[in-house]
Amino acid sequence: MLLVTGGAGFIGSNVVAALNEAGRSDVVVCDLLGNDGKWRNLAKRQLVDIVPPSELLDWLKGRKLDALIHLGAISATTATDGDLVFETNFRMSMRLLDWCTAGAVPFIYASSAATYGDGEAGFGDDASLPALKKLRPMNLYGWSKHLFDLAVAERVARGDKLPPQWAGLKFFNVFGPNEYHKGAMMSVLARRFDDVKAGRVVQLFKSHREGIADGDQRRDFIYVDDVVRVIMWLLATPSVSGLFNVGTGKARSFRDLMLAAYAALGARPNIEYVDMPEQIRGSYQYFTQSEVDRLHRAGYNGGFTTLEDAVKAYVGDYLDRPDRFR
- Cβ atoms of 233 and 169 closer than 8 Å: no
Catalytic annotation present for 182? yes
Which of 116, 141, 262, 314 is catalytic? The answer is: 141
Helix or strand or coil: residue 94?
A: helix
- Among 204, 294, 188, 196, smallest CA distance to 240 is for 294
Per-residue buried b or exposed e for 19-37, using 16+ beta carbons within 10 Å of the residue's own CB: bbeeeeeebbbbbebeeee
Binding residues: 10-11, 31-32, 38, 71-75, 145, 173-174, 182, 184, 205-208, 219, 284
Which is it for strands 218-219 and 252-253: parallel, antiparallel or unpaired? antiparallel
Binding residues for substrate: 173, 184, 205-208, 219, 284
Angle between helices 224-236 and 307-314 (to 10 degrees): 100
Which is it for strands 49-51 and 67-70: parallel, antiparallel or unpaired? unpaired
Which of 116, 161, 170, 182 is catalytic? The answer is: 182
Q: How far is CA 43 from CA 12, 48, 71, 114, 262, in A?
A: 13, 13, 19, 30, 30
Find how far residue 68's CA is from the centre of its chain: 16
Find how far residue 34's CA is from the centre of its chain: 20
- Cβ atoms of 165 and 66 closer than 8 Å: no
List phi, psi (to 5°) of 48.
-85, -40
Which residues participate in catalysis according to the annotation?
141, 182
